[in-house]
Amino acid sequence: MKNILIAENAGFCFGVKRAMNMAWNELDKTDNVSIYALGPLIHNSQAVAKYEERGMVTVATIEDIEKIEADKSISGKPINNSKEMIIRSHGVSKTVYDEAKEKNIPIIDTTCPFVRKIHYLANKCYEDGKQLIVIGDKNHPEIIGINGWSSHSAIIAKNLEEIKNISFESNKEYFIVAQTTMNEKEFDAIISHIRSLNIRVEVENTICSATRVRQESARDLAQRVELMIVIGGRHSSNTQKLVKICQDTVDTFSIETKDDLDKDLLSKYNTIGITAGASTPDWIIDDVIGFLSEL
Residues acting as catalytic residues: 142
Alpha helices in the chain (DSSP H): 14-29, 45-54, 62-75, 94-102, 113-127, 141-148, 160-164, 184-195, 209-222, 237-247, 263-266, 282-293
- Give the separation between CA 89 and CA 116, rounded to whole angstroms: 9
Interatomic CA distance for residues 219 and 215, integer angstroms:
6
**Residues whose CB falls within 8 Å of the CB of residue 23, separated by 6 or more in sequence, listed in order:** 35, 37, 41, 51, 56, 86, 108, 110
Contact status, residue 134 vs residue 146, Cβ threshold 8 Å = yes
